[in-house]
Amino acid sequence: MAQLNAAVALVPAAGRGERLGFGIPKALVPVRGAPLLLHAVRGLLSAGRVRHVVVAAPAEALEQVSSLLSGLPVDVVAGGSDRTESVGLALRHALAVVPGARIALVHDAARAFTPPEVVARVVDAVAAGARAVVPVLPMADTVKLVDADGVVLGTPDRAALRVVQTPQGFDVETLVTAHRSGLSATDDAGLVEALGVPVNTVDGHPNAMKVTTPHDLAVAEKVLVEGL
């Protein structure tokens, strides 16, 4: 693996999975015999661009997650109260264990079936000089802006909208600065945007969908793991 393109990957996996409703952390929900987190980590490593992974796991499942990932180049730390905090904790650990890393990926455990080519596109774009890169897809639906009562305020131009996926890629300094801001955001690129740093896009993939609801899990069971 070319050192220049070797990234460290941070995997926030400490969410509760309330919307999935399994009663266990979503990262541990099995799809065809393997937990989502294992699918996600295997996918990252199979791209040939990631040298080390740091997983932020639910505090009460640290041992279970460590045992699940044993034998892989993975460290497991306790996650935080929201996604931003979980990524920050994983990032702090990564800086200590992989001090020379130049490229960091942040990848949801819930996007467990992201094709390796998406991982490669993101890492390669950062290696080529971008400070922040997100994989995106065009919007298939018309989107409405609504007020608190659900009344439509407007219709943004769909041509300028994108659905954003993970892994998101950063040069390490940019990600560290973004997380030091103390802000919270639904994705890491949002923190970088707040710094005024440009965020580039590459093509995402439908299989990089986030497993959020029981419907998503059914899609993953039926469609996404075929061929794995």
Ligand X SMILES: C[C@](O)(CO)[C@H](O)COP(=O)(O)O
Interface contacts to ligand CTP, rule CB under 6 A? 12-19, 26-27, 56, 79-83, 86, 108-110, 210, 212
Q: Decide: helix, strand or coil at residue 99.
A: coil
Residue whose tokens read 């439908």: 206
**Residue 26 Cβ vs ligand X, minimum distance, rounded to whole Å:** 10
End-to-end CA distance of the chain: 23
User: Among residues 24 and 66, whose Cβ is nearest to ligand X?
Assistant: 24
User: Among residues 102 and 163, whose Cβ is nearest to ligand CTP?
Assistant: 163
C-alpha to C-alpha distance for 27 and 207, rounded to whole angstroms: 17
109 binds, among ligand CTP, ligand X, none (CB under 5 to 8 A by kind): ligand CTP
Decide the pairing of beta strands 74-78 and 50-57: parallel
H helix intervals, the chain: 36-46, 62-68, 83-97, 116-127, 172-180, 188-194, 214-219
**Residue 85 Cβ vs ligand CTP, minimum distance, rounded to whole Å:** 7
User: Among residues 74 and 112, whose Cβ is nearest to ligand X?
Assistant: 112
114 binds, among ligand CTP, ligand X, none (CB under 5 to 8 A by kind): none
User: Among residues 42 and 210, whose Cβ is nearest to ligand X?
Assistant: 210
213 binds, among ligand CTP, ligand X, none (CB under 5 to 8 A by kind): none
C-alpha to C-alpha distance for 84 and 179, rounded to whole angstroms: 8
**Residue 165 Cβ vs ligand X, minimum distance, rounded to whole Å:** 6
**Residue 210 Cβ vs ligand X, minimum distance, rounded to whole Å:** 5
Neighbours of 79 (CB within 10 A): 27
Residues that bind ligand X (CB under 6 A): 83, 108, 164-166, 186-187, 210
Tell me the HSE value of 13 on the side-chain side, using a 13 A CA sphere.
Answer: 34
C-alpha to C-alpha distance for 37 and 26, rounded to whole angstroms: 8
186 binds, among ligand X, ligand CTP, none (CB under 5 to 8 A by kind): ligand X
Which residue is at the shortest CB distance from ligand CTP?
15
User: Among residues 66 and 136, whose Cβ is nearest to ligand X?
Assistant: 136
27 binds, among ligand CTP, ligand X, none (CB under 5 to 8 A by kind): ligand CTP
Residue 84 CB contacts under 8 Å (≥ 6 apart), including other chains? 179, 183, 184, 185, 188, 191
**Residue 108 Cβ vs ligand X, minimum distance, rounded to whole Å:** 5
If we measure between CA atoms, which residue out of 214, 128, 113 comes closest to residue 165? 113
